[in-house]
Amino acid sequence: MDESPMATVRIKEGKEKQLVRHHPWVFSGAVEPSSKKTVPSRPGIVRVEDSTGSFIAYGWYDTDSHILIRLLSWNPETVPNTNWWVETLSASIQRRMHFFQTSKKTNTFRLVHGEADFLPGIAIDIYGSTIMCMISARVAWDHRLVVVQTLQKLLNPLVVLVTTDPTFCGVEKLQETTERYVGGLLVADREDTEVIFREHGLYYSFQPGTGQKSGFFCDQRDNRSRVAAYARDRNVLDAFSYTGAFSFNMLAQGARSVTAVDSSAPALERLATQLALNVGKGRLPADAMDRLHVEQADVFQYLRDMQANSYDLIVLDPPKLAHTKAQVDGALRAYKDLNRLAIQKSTRGGIVATFSCSSGVTRDMLRTAIAWAAKDARREVQILETLGQSSDHPIRLSFPESEYLKGFIFLVL
């Protein structure tokens, strides 16, 4: 950005309430039309004011983003320059230093949870000596170099991977790409070796640039332990198993059998690789190879076709079913259908662990969907535990969208 005076953007009267409460998103419709005429076409920092001219915050203005302004600093004395990015990222990592103390059993967790950590459009996860930066907004892409250099200075990773989130590339006018940095420098070599890391003493691996999102979902770390506590001597269905993290935790806790069902052949191939890795390293007993069964199938159809009373623990962990508010109603119908089938087909006295990672679906919405599912299945259920995302994915109260993972463990009566 050049040294020209900072532009000012004025918010329409009545549109400033959430912004004053530190919600970080300003959409085009909230901005006075006259302001848009005075802002430079190049992306950069602007001063955001209410309709009376009172300061609200400094934000990053970008007409190519689907969110016109992303607010960064509500302190009139703190202009979000390069030092701001360094300090904000450093503070986010510092808040998670206690996770590094558990690295013998778990060396994967989230370092930055986007806007919840005041860094818009970027999620940063560490997997052993590899760091993955998933970018979903242009502002984060524009500042990726300072992010990489700060990570390198603070943590000295072997590799930093910067990849754009394909879900948002269209609306953010970003290309789907992955950049590889070694020693803080961009390298042309795109050949990525397999990344191996640990969670709860179990081993996992992924090939960077493949699979969903970052290749592994550490937001379910605590929930995997909670669900596995119910697995001993049970026949378990791990629906939407992806690469098997729930399955391995339940095998480790003495499940009689686990059936992992997913529609993705590559995910199930990775599951088989990781199973062999854990057996080979003695993290799972040799008979785990016999106790785990894999099915490539559409989960909805699998649940409809399977016989009742086959499983006394069912895990439902579907991918995001609602990407937008317009898709929420359809997602709720799908959640109700999934839970109805699980309740109907579960053994009496069985356990169901059900999740939603759709931010537009609230916890109350999911609980209501389960209640209607139980009614249609003509069974009573008791909620035993209420679950959410792990603590390295904090929920910022001024940004409700940061709470996206909801779950329940319930008993089928």
Q: Which of 142, 150, 156, 163 is nearest to 214 (CA)?
A: 163
CA 234 to chain centre: 29
d(CA 229, CA 223): 10
Instruction: Locate 19 and state its tokens.
Output: 């912004």
pLDDT at residue 391, rounded to an integer: 95
Q: Strands (DSSP E) along 167-212, which ranges?
A: 178-182, 185-187, 195-199, 202-206
pLDDT at residue 323, rounded to an integer: 82
CA distances from 247 to 48, 224, 243 (A): 49, 9, 9
pLDDT at residue 1, rounded to an integer: 41
Q: What is the pLDDT of residues 218-276, one digit of tens each?
A: 999 999 999 999 999 999 999 999 999 999 999 999 999 999 999 999 999 999 999 99
Band (214; pLDDT cuts 50, 70, 90): low
pLDDT at residue 2, rounded to an integer: 44
pLDDT at 215 over 90: no
What is the value of pTM for the model shown? 0.93
Q: Which residue type occupies 307?
A: Q
For residue 392, the number of C-alpha atoms closer than 13 Å in the C-beta half-sphere is: 25
pLDDT at residue 190, rounded to an integer: 62
Share of the chain above pLDDT 70, in %: 96
Q: What is the pLDDT of residues 78-123, one digit of tens each?
A: 999 999 999 999 999 999 999 998 778 999 999 999 999 999 999 9
pLDDT at 213 over 60: no
d(CA 409, CA 352): 6
CA angle 237, 241, 246 (to 5 degrees): 75
Band (209; pLDDT cuts 50, 70, 90): low
| Residue 15 backbone dihedrals phi, psi, to 5 degrees | -100, 0
Beta bridge pairs of residue 69: 26, 61
Q: What is the pLDDT of residues 161-204, one digit of tens each?
A: 999 999 899 999 999 999 999 999 999 866 667 889 999 999 99
Q: Give all domains of the chain, ordered by start, each with its CATH number.
A: 7-79 (2.30.130.10), 83-187 (3.30.750.80), 217-412 (3.40.50.150)
Give Cβ neighbours of residue 104 (< 8 Å, ≥ 6 apart): 198
Asked if residue 243 lies in contact with residue 274, where contact means CB atoms within 8 angstroms, the answer is yes
| Sign of the torsion angle spanned by Cα atoms 253, 255, 261, 264 | positive
Q: What is the pLDDT of residues 344-394, one digit of tens each?
A: 999 989 999 999 999 899 999 999 999 999 999 999 999 999 999 999 999
Q: Which residue has the higher pLDDT, 203 or 39?
A: 203
